Amino acid sequence: MSELQNINWSELGFSYIKTDLRYISVWEDGKWDDGKLVEDNQLHISEASTGLHYGQQCFEGLKAYRTKEGKVQLFRPDRNAKRMQESCDRIKMPAPSVEKFIDACKQVVNANLSWVPPYGSGATLYLRPFIFGCGDTIGVKPAPRYIFSVFCMPVGPYFKGGLSPVNFATTGFDRAAPAGTGMAKVGGNYAASLLPHEEAANKGYADCIYLDPSTHTKIEEVGAANFFGITKDNKFITPKSDSILPSITKYSLLHVAKEYLGMETEESDVYIDDLDKFTEAGACGTAAVITPIGGIEHKGHFHVFHSETEVGPVTRKLYDTLVGIQLGDVEAPEGWIVEV
């Protein structure tokens, strides 16, 4: 095992840390260059970059995990690569191939091995691939040049406390429109989430829950994670909507719930006035992993699921199985794990 940085791994939160090397590739004249690893974490770009003015930008998030044997592995990077291609299509950007995307991620992990947290520390290496339009453009049109970059940093839990419950509040704001960009991982969705997040945080909540932009009656997702609930009869239910981000963690949990835990699963409407049917609920995502939801405030009423302080038994089983797969302790479905 490579020598590790001197970090108190179990104390890490979700914050930027400059690691040794990052990958950068440039698209120009219809093609990507070969890409390279660089030390500099500052980008020098045109003041007229579409990524700065018109939000022509998208990003991804995935993690590298150190196994008990000391190997380092990525979880379903092909899914992030494909989702990045879909995001790029939506806002007229060229996307790297799945192979180029995975190769860039592997290069970045290999170049920063001393930053990959040890097995059992609770921390992981978070990778942030992103693409944006640059070059000189002032009209609202696609850029002549694009940068694809991947950087990484060790992280701990996104929501404070990891596997302990957090509370959310619904917001009257929408993060995305019905036929807008909600399903794409584009920066504009996240800019739209900053004010509602701050309002929820000021009221003491970990984040806000968005409702469907057409009727404001159904749960969409959290600002940085999808939602799931467990019914009294042990069914795993998660919202179906064209304006939420198709979470790779959510689709992995649908598989884990069905194939590993023998549960019934369903993607369907989740009405905010029908939370009584759930005995447990959670937020899921790469950064959020599985964060149990203690309760949700909606229009002055606070609904508690399992408990505000204890994680529910089904949520724990889902967490143990998913994280077990990611860390190499539980056998993964074919193709889910890519060794670095």
Catalytic positions, written as ranges: 185
Tally of residues, the chain: 340
Distance between CA 47 and CA 43 in Å, rounded?
Answer: 12
| Smallest gap from residue 232 Cβ to ligand COI (A) | 29
The interface partner of residue 145, options being ligand PLP, ligand COI, none and the CB cut-off 5 to 8 Å by kind, is none
Site membership for ligand COI, residue 157 (CB under 6 A): no
Nearer residue to ligand COI within complex by CB, 135 or 162: 162
With contacts defined by CB under 6 A, name the span among 22-30, 148-156, 223-231, 258-266 that binds ligand PLP. 223-231
Nearer residue to ligand COI within complex by CB, 6 or 15: 15
Tell me which DSSP letter residue 271 carries: B
CA trace torsion 113, 81, 248, 197 (10° rounding): 80
Strand partners of residue 38: 22
**Secondary structure element (H or E) that encloses residue 104, with its range:** helix 98-111
The 275-294 contact track toward ligand COI, x by CB under 6 A, reads ----------xxx-------
Nearer residue to ligand PLP within complex by CB, 75 or 278: 75
Site membership for ligand COI, residue 127 (CB under 6 A): no
With contacts defined by CB under 6 A, name the span among 67-75, 147-155, 248-256, 319-327 that binds ligand PLP. 248-256
| Smallest gap from residue 121 Cβ to ligand PLP (A) | 21
Distance between CA 326 and CA 319 in Å, rounded?
Answer: 10
Q: Which residue is nearest to ligand COI (CB)?
A: 61
The b/e string for 271-310 (b: 16+ C-beta within 10 A; e otherwise) is ebeebeebbbbbbbbbbbbbbbbbbbbbeeeebebbeeee
Indicate which single residue of 224, 263, 283, 322 sits in contact with ligand COI (rule: CB under 6 A).
224
Instruction: At 23, give phi and psi (nearest 5°).
Output: -100, 140
